Structure 1
Amino acid sequence: MSKLLNDDVKEMLTNILKDMVDEVYVKVYVDTLTCETCTETHQLMDEISELSDKIHYDLVETHGDKTVGDKYGITMYPTMVVLDKNQEDKGIRFNGIPAGHEINSLLAALVDMSGKPLDLDDATIEAIKAIDTETNIKVFITLSCPHCPGAVTKAHRIAMLNPYVKAEMVEAQTFHEFSAKYNVSSVPKIVINDTHDFVGNQPMEVFLDTIREAA
């Protein structure tokens, strides 16, 4: 099987991952009976994990058993769950392969989850921590979208800082029926609590204002 990452890309990713502070654990849920991108997703995570000894991952093959992912609420495959050094769930999900431009949001999630201080000012951090209702953020993306990783990373950082929040990337082409349900016609499209949405890699203030409106 040919490698997904060439030597130049590996060198670039290794330099980014040097910023990791603590260990990070990733659960990779696949169902190779029905999933077209599961094998490639497994391979991508395998190659990335070789670039840092702080990255650990487990492959979870469901073999068609939809209850296997119940612990983390997994309903789509492939899905990655990113856990902290204590293997605690902070609500970070990648539904679909985070390849193409989206590899940037995967790298950001790994580095951020490792404990590197987030690039957010104190007022923004306080506003995120003030969220006090259960909140779900879906960020619909395509792998060719250059603006999507920034939106995914904003959503993930909100979840990392607040236990009420779950933030998930959704690869729109892989999950086209699910995307159609939310009328995704341009990306990134951000859907909050299934009731409020906006399009584009908007400033963090827009994310927070929409979360308040959707509460």
Structure 2
Amino acid sequence: MLLDSRIIDKIKERFSALKERVRLIVFTQEFECQFCQENRTLNEEIASVSDKIDVEVFDFQKNRIEVERYRISQIPATVVMGDRDYGLRFYGIPGGYEFNSLLDTIVMVSQRESGLSAESKRRIKGWNKPTRIQVMVTLTCPYCPQVVRTAHQLAFENEFITAEMVDITEFPHLVSKYQVYGVPKVVINEKVQFEGALPEEAFIDRLLEV
């Protein structure tokens, strides 16, 4: 097991706030994926804590229909969804500080409430441009979960937005591609890039530049 009894007790406390069902869609493969099995095990152990969480596992090579349906570009990958796909993705195992990001996203989806301010909801309500937000993180970065949370909140509120946590230590080719010198680093539609944990309002300002 990856999670000890102390951590499981804390998860149970967090999950007391769950309301609606949540599905964790895990993409993996048996070979040439260092953390795939660990990511699958982590999601299955989290799901075992609550009867409101289900896990589905697909092979990245064999289940191409599901890979295309959820637009999965790399593995390990986890999709957090409820009654529909809100565009919430985790690429890499969400451990370290990002473990809380995964729990936060599960609770958000279960409650069917993003937690964004009324003003932020108003600003992105009419946004209709297909938008991909990538949040580059490391699992030892204490400032990264805040940015992942904001990105996921925006995706939850607007069907045209997808938001991805990307652990750059598992995908080192992205470090050079996006010139990542510090984290968190956000890349929006390959056009807008910024570093640092911007507050919600400033994050939306940058989003609207796309």
Report the equivalent of 1:33: 31
2-structure distance, mates of 1:37, 1:65 = 19
Aligned counterparts, 1:16-165, within 5 A: 16-63=14-61, 68-84=66-82, 86=83, 88-165=84-161
2-structure distance, mates of 1:113, 1:133 = 22
Encode CA deviations 1:68-106: one digit per residue, 9 max, x unaligned: 51111112001111111x2x1111000110011101110
SS at match of 2:111: coil
Report the equivalent of 2:169: 173
* Kept in 2: contact 1:196–1:210 (CA 8 A): yes
Pairwise CA distance, 1:211: 1.1
Encode CA deviations 1:92-139: one digit per residue, 9 max, x unaligned: 000110011101110011000112533322111111223221111000
Q: How high is the sequence identity, in percent, across the aligned residues?
A: 34
- Structure 2: state its 5+ residue gaps: none
Q: Which consecutive segments of 4 or more residues in structure 1 shift more than 4 A? A: 63-68
Pairwise CA distance, 1:67: 6.0
- Structure 1: state its 5+ residue gaps: none
Please, what TM-score do these two structures have when normalized by structure 1?
0.93
* Kept in 1: contact 2:115–2:153 (CA 8 A): no
Report the equivalent of 2:206: 210
Pairwise CA distance, 1:174: 0.1
Q: Which amino acid aligns with 1:168?
A: E
Q: Identify if the C-alpha distance between structure 1 residues 92 and 193 changes in structure 2 by more than 3 Å, giving closer, same or farther.
A: same
Aligned residues: 210
Report the equivalent of 2:196: 200
Pairwise CA distance, 1:191: 0.7
Q: Which amino acid aligns with 2:67?
A: G
